[in-house]
Structure 1
Amino acid sequence: MEESRLAFAKDSPPLAIIAAAKIADVSLTIDPSLDSGSVPTLYLRSGDFIHGINTILRYIARGATIPSFYGQDDIQAAHVDQWLEYASVILSGSEFEAACSFLDGFLTSRTFLVGFSLSIADIVVWSNIAGTGQRWESLRRSKKYQNLIRWFNSIAVDYAGMLDEVVEAYVGRRGIGKSTAPSLKENLQCSKVNTSGLEIDLPGAKVGEVCVRFAPEPSGYLHIGHAKAGLLNNYFAERYRGRLIVRFDDTNPSKENNEFVENILKDIDIMGIKYDTVTYTSDYFPKLMEMAESLIKQGKAYVDDTPRKQMQEERATGMESKCRNNTVEENLLLWREMINGTEIGMQCYVRGKLDMLDPNKSLRDPVYYRCNIIPHHRVGSKYKVYPTYDFACPFVDALEGVTHALRSSEYHDRNAQYYRILQDMGLRRVEICEFSRLNMVYTLLSKRKLLWFVQNKKVDDWTDPRFPTIQGIVRRGLKIEALKQFILEQGASKNLNLMEWDKLWTINKKIVDPVSARHTAVLKDQRALLTLTNGPEEPFVRILPRHKKYEGAGNKATTFTNRIWLEYADASVISTGQEVTLMDWGNAIIKEIKTENGVITELVGALHLEGSVKSTKLKLTWLPDIEDLVLLSLVEFDYLITKKKLEEDEEITLTSPILNPCTRRETLALGDPNMRNLKQGEIIQLERKGYYRCDVPFIRPAKPIVLFLIPDGRQQSAANK
């Protein structure tokens, strides 16, 4: 952004603009020469100028290089705008303490005001609070609003040098980042997590020096469990202004392929994870082999030809292998056999020589290398030996400069092994930080078991909406913003919980409801005709908003006729003489109900538009009886399994009783003609039916628009229905 001059009245410096410019690294010439009461003005080198505090703030935010400084999308940008207006009106007026109370409640489970990273909203609100001087200091010392104080201190600590300078110059105080309350770094450790979920620190972490990594194996698409690891790594990289490495742990050619690599990168992009580089463990194969050979020569590893099952039994009982005391020469000979993939080599494993009597069984001479003659998806048939995850992970972490390795608590017993291997390799220590594995009810998160469903045609593919994959749940209608909020609310807690999907879908509903356009549909085979005797002789059209409270949803054209379709379920509860409300039209009185063999064939009524909407019991959706109605396929999904939690060793077969026999239900409906314009991925609400995501848009009249029902946290499963 070009160098600019900021002019303002000396008695009212725009603290928020100056602070935002500092954070965004925008060079400003300060000119406090305007008359008292004048509006701040930003003069650009080009000769243009911008008036007004919030207008200038938006200009700075849009031009900043800080990620998401004006929000990640249009919705977040709108939230930023709301905070800009709020800060200037409330925080500087007589309602200051009430505003602080509101902010304290709002920040109960949030680190930032908008989204999951610093935005200009944080800087503006922070500046307005700091600008009140002693008024805020009195509240801060009282420790009355702990969440607000925690947020205020966090920003002050992270940007102390910049903000101290601004506050000292324009408020007359220094050391704004200091507090009588303990700082985050004093108060929190990796193993101690604030119950609000988000405020967690990495041990020994320094701003600008942290490096974390997200290391998925390319043996399937990413699912919601991987999302937790990815988003937490992204959170810490942004929080400490550090680096995030995406590393493919591609050490098993039997399971991995390029399709999975490509789609994992796609999943990462969908989640909005910002990484610095992409690496592969296979990039380090030569160095890993050198390290394995070095450990063999040092007597810290040996080659074992014990059959696999026997090896497992010996590890369980603490019995040493007959090969454990082989000479270095004998081990190197067998190592060569392994490298060449000979018949003898294929029977061997390289094992670490640790401690076969250690109570922690992961330290009982773990396997470092094994043979595999299947071609690798990146390096082809160049290698016949491949490192295990336990051997490769600490080595590559150390070489790539990782400072903190986030791992789920299922690896807890292997942490000692990780540190011991680093020690034997002579490499620097990498801090392990644990978080609990995400488990969801009625959900499989084993990629091996998910692959079974794909291979046995129980789902269409890895993107099937019944799958917990990122692409699957997004296709079902989940917004990534909801996923982030759901996961980051849990933080890096080690508590093992079986989470309900309802909570996630409830968060999602709060995000989609304010912006989703409203449309109308009736079930194709369950509808009843209502003839309005005083209805319009010729159809006419009105332009109505697609969402009454959100202009951004646009408008729709609604046709009014004297013959309209009602849901049969609605028609069946109407009685003769009853007054009902036709939504977006007015009242009507039902004069006659025609039936045949107990089935309603037609209703006859008359419009009563002067009637009170408040007095009617039934508010009915309806569609005009016109040829332009579009064909819809409303699809509802259910869990793939009927058991709430599947055990690790519990296998699935085609005859498993836990397989849900009914996981997809499709119902044909008719929708209003405006739905021809729906785009793939667009989320709408069908009035009185629920929220839907458009999976297949309009192609031709005979082919239905496919809409997937989005759970809202309250609906019954299809199986129960």
Structure 2
Amino acid sequence: MPEPTEKPASRNFIQQAIDADRAAGRFDRRVHTRFPPEPNGYLHIGHAKAICLNSGLAREYQGKFNLRFDDTNPAKEEQEYVDSIQDDVRWLGADWQDRLFFASDYFDQLYAWAVKLVEAGKAYVCDLDGEQMRAYRGTLTEPGRDSPFRGRTVKENLDLLARMKAGEFPDGARTLRAKIDMASPNVNLRDPVMYRIKHAHHHRTGDTWSIYPSYDYTHGQSDSIEGITYSICTLEFENHRPLYDWFCKELGIHHPRQIEFARLNLTYTVMSKRKLLQLVQEKHVAGWDDPRMPTIRGLRRRGYTPDSIRAFCERIGVARQDSTIEMLWLEDAVREHLNDTAPRRMAVLRPLKVVLTNLGETETIDCTLPNHPQKPELGERAVTLTRELYIEQDDFMEEAPKKFFRLKPGGDVRLRGAGIITCDEVVKDKSGEVTELRCTFDPDHSRKVKGTIHWVSAPLALDAQVRLYDHLFKVENPDAAPEGKTFLDNLNPESLETLTAKVEPSLAKEQGGERFQFERLGYFYTDPIDSKPGHPVFNRTVTLRDAWGKEQGRG
């Protein structure tokens, strides 16, 4: 096998384990990983970490990476999820080439191995229902008790298993259990369920099967069939590893190595598939792709890039201890990427009208602005200054403090790329609300003023819907709800604000999928679903750094 493509100075514990295995010649020095999602929901940012880790290891060691669906629970699985998962994994840059597999591909082999374990006296058919099984299982401090059906003969077990497969019994009537050790301190080894009866239509096998294998039974054997060398999974499966090893050993099949790492937890969000599904079903969000959701599909619609998510996963690293990562880390990753790649445009979210009194009614001034201040190769664009324009409401203050460097009565401010204006008059309505500023325009760019603000031409500006997103939850740990409350009580009622903004007319042609920095406001993404020609919809991906705003004299 070739050497790894790169060896950074600091190696995480998984890389160190693989390096040691390769040095010892284990698995013939092969590295073959996989990402094995259950198709019962959309992927979230935690899955992105697993995808980047598994595909990244395969790429680093010039090995192989598989995408396999562990589709063993037909009641909760849908083709919609299969399709979305493939799309999201591909979008993240993970390449499974021709190695797309399903656990259902192996149902015949899994059943044959189950028969083999029954014949070896290592599995039996049990008639206990779920509640009884839990009672017999014991606790963390007390051993379990043998099922009264544990002593069935091999002949009886084979007969009953065949009849289970034939659909002779109702759901839940019987299970096939591995015969291991009911007194084991590891409760996962207390005769775990291998098959349960479930008369449900499977999205790939139809009505062929009336019994379906458990995740614990399916997982390791599927890895073995595919020749996986490293089963990289999260820490909650650490106590399942002895069971993973037991099945491979008892069946005498290829035995991958399972290594666990800490799952990704983020502040201000939840990662439970069940809770994410609840948010969608109860319409607390607009769908799996709502930009406030931590799903990959939601992050995509918000304007995140695959590069930024990969950079985030690389930055937080791989550890053995569970921890919670600040959402700021994820936001900073996309901000850093978009700062380098996003073209600049001007938009006014909360317009305040300005009249330049020394310009004629139809007079215009052509201005040229760079599309990116550090990248001349991205070119320039023309913008037109007119007598009437819009600025942000908060770029004007009637009674301004000393260090307010934007517009104030009698004060000067620079218009980005145009010139300098002086506020001569403030126009108010009957309620005292400022409705218009009357200013004098000076095209002299050489004058020194401390503040620079953005603007758009009033007659030429395009109306555009802009969606401003905040955290979906108002607390860092939404699951930490007081007694009698749930995570839903921590939803942030101000997580979405929708505005009608004024934007550069050049944005009229945007129909979705483009990213921009709206100068001084943040990074925005043209919504690929709701945008129409001449009617763009912009989702704010992330705000600008506070330090950046201060450097621009925002006060």
TM-score by length of 1: 0.68
Cα displacement (A) at 1:254: 0.6
The equivalent position to 1:266 in structure 2, one of 68, 87, 94, is 87
Cα displacement (A) at 1:458: 2.0
The equivalent position to 2:199 in structure 1, one of 373, 398, 409, is 373
Alpha-carbon spacing, 1:312–1:203, altered in 2? closer, same or farther (3 Å): farther
Paired position in structure 2 for 1:203: 21
Residues 90-239 of structure 1 correspond to what in structure 2 (within 5 A)?
Answer: 151=8, 190=14, 201=19, 203-204=21-22, 209-239=30-60
Letter in 2 for 1:605: C
Paired position in structure 2 for 1:593: 426
The equivalent position to 2:519 in structure 1, one of 682, 687, 708, is 687
Does the aligned pair in 2 maintain the 1:503–1:713 contact within 8 Å? Answer: no
Distance 1:345 1:486 in 2: 44
Paired position in structure 1 for 2:553: none
Does the aligned pair in 2 maintain the 1:337–1:345 contact within 8 Å? Answer: no
Bigger Cα displacement from structure 2, 575-584 vs 539-548: 539-548
Q: Deviations over 1:517-571 (max 9, x none)?
A: 22112235x4122223146852243443222322343432211222222222223
Does the aligned pair in 2 maintain the 1:356–1:363 contact within 8 Å? Answer: yes
Matched, 1:493 2:325: no
Alpha-carbon spacing, 1:490–1:519, altered in 2? closer, same or farther (3 Å): closer
Alpha-carbon spacing, 1:613–1:467, altered in 2? closer, same or farther (3 Å): farther
Does the aligned pair in 1 maintain the 2:515–2:523 contact within 8 Å? Answer: yes
Structure with bigger gyration radius: 1
Cα displacement (A) at 1:398: 1.3
Q: Deviations over 1:305-328 (max 9, x none)?
A: 101011012112411111111111
The equivalent position to 1:660 in structure 2, one of 483, 492, 500, is 492
Matched, 1:578 2:411: yes
Does the aligned pair in 2 maintain the 1:434–1:492 contact within 8 Å? Answer: no
Paired position in structure 2 for 1:638: 470
Distance 2:450 2:322 in 1: 47
Distance 1:237 1:634 in 2: 41
Residues 494-513 of structure 1 correspond to what in structure 2 (within 5 A)?
Answer: 494-513=320-339
Paired position in structure 2 for 1:427: 253
Does the aligned pair in 1 maintain the 2:302–2:541 contact within 8 Å? Answer: yes
Does the aligned pair in 2 maintain the 1:202–1:433 contact within 8 Å? Answer: no
Q: Deviations over 1:207-232 (max 9, x none)?
A: 87221111111111211111111111
Aligned to 1:483, what secondary structure does the other structure show? helix
Paired position in structure 1 for 2:133: 311
Cα displacement (A) at 1:481: 1.0
Bigger Cα displacement from structure 2, 450-459 vs 289-298: 450-459
Alpha-carbon spacing, 1:206–1:379, altered in 2? closer, same or farther (3 Å): closer
Q: Aligned residue pairs: how many? A: 527
Paired position in structure 2 for 1:52: none
Residues 8-157 of structure 1 correspond to what in structure 2 (within 5 A)?
Answer: 151=8
Paired position in structure 2 for 1:606: 440
Paired position in structure 2 for 1:553: 378
Distance 1:319 1:338 in 2: 24
The equivalent position to 1:671 in structure 2, one of 503, 509, 512, is 503
Paired position in structure 2 for 1:163: none
Q: Deviations over 1:156-193 (max 9, x none)?
A: xxxxxxxxxxxxxxxxxxxxxxxxxxxx9xx8753869
Does the aligned pair in 2 maintain the 1:244–1:275 contact within 8 Å? Answer: yes
The equivalent position to 1:518 in structure 2, one of 307, 320, 344, is 344
Cα displacement (A) at 1:284: 0.7
Q: Deviations over 1:430-469 (max 9, x none)?
A: 1112111111112222222212222222222222211111
The equivalent position to 1:280 in structure 2, one of 102, 111, 115, is 102
Question: Unaligned stretches of 5+ in structure 1?
Answer: 1-22, 24-116, 123-149, 155-183, 194-199, 716-721
Letter in 1 for 2:390: W
Cα displacement (A) at 1:202: 6.6
Q: Deviations over 1:284-340 (max 9, x none)?
A: 101111111111111100111101011012112411111111111222232123112
Distance 1:191 1:415 in 2: 19
The equivalent position to 1:705 in structure 2, one of 508, 514, 536, is 536
The equivalent position to 1:624 in structure 2, one of 452, 457, 482, is 457
CA RMSD of aligned residues (A): 2.9
Q: Percent identity, aligned pairs only?
A: 33
Does the aligned pair in 2 maintain the 1:224–1:470 contact within 8 Å? Answer: yes
Does the aligned pair in 2 maintain the 1:523–1:667 contact within 8 Å? Answer: yes
Question: Unaligned stretches of 5+ in structure 2?
Answer: 399-406, 547-555
Cα displacement (A) at 1:691: 1.0
Alpha-carbon spacing, 1:391–1:611, altered in 2? closer, same or farther (3 Å): closer
Q: Deviations over 1:272-292 (max 9, x none)?
A: 101131111111101111111
Q: Deviations over 1:398-436 (max 9, x none)?
A: 121111111111111111111111111122321112111
Letter in 1 for 2:440: A
Does the aligned pair in 2 maintain the 1:536–1:560 contact within 8 Å? Answer: no
Alpha-carbon spacing, 1:651–1:660, altered in 2? closer, same or farther (3 Å): farther
Q: Deviations over 1:224-269 (max 9, x none)?
A: 1111111111111111111111111111101111111111110111
Distance 1:450 1:549 in 2: 40
Matched, 1:300 2:131: no
Distance 1:653 1:219 in 2: 27
Q: Deviations over 1:471-496 (max 9, x none)?
A: 21121121111111111233332121
Aligned to 1:464, what secondary structure does the other structure show? coil
Bigger Cα displacement from structure 2, 234-243 vs 443-452: 443-452
Cα displacement (A) at 1:513: 0.8
The equivalent position to 1:528 in structure 2, one of 346, 353, 358, is 353
Does the aligned pair in 2 maintain the 1:208–1:242 contact within 8 Å? Answer: no
Matched, 1:248 2:74: no
Distance 1:201 1:268 in 2: 26
Letter in 1 for 2:263: R
TM-score by length of 2: 0.88
Alpha-carbon spacing, 1:499–1:282, altered in 2? closer, same or farther (3 Å): same
Alpha-carbon spacing, 1:639–1:542, altered in 2? closer, same or farther (3 Å): closer
Alpha-carbon spacing, 1:397–1:602, altered in 2? closer, same or farther (3 Å): closer
Aligned to 2:138, what secondary structure does the other structure show? helix
Paired position in structure 1 for 2:178: 352
Distance 2:172 2:498 in 1: 51
Does the aligned pair in 1 maintain the 2:468–2:496 contact within 8 Å? Answer: yes
Letter in 1 for 2:211: V
Does the aligned pair in 1 maintain the 2:136–2:145 contact within 8 Å? Answer: yes
Aligned to 1:392, what secondary structure does the other structure show? helix
Bigger Cα displacement from structure 2, 254-263 vs 556-565: 556-565
Alpha-carbon spacing, 1:202–1:251, altered in 2? closer, same or farther (3 Å): farther
Letter in 2 for 1:661: P
Distance 2:84 2:126 in 1: 37
Cα displacement (A) at 1:201: 4.1
Letter in 2 for 1:659: L
Letter in 2 for 1:303: V
Distance 2:481 2:356 in 1: 62
Distance 1:649 1:390 in 2: 32
Aligned to 2:291, what secondary structure does the other structure show? coil
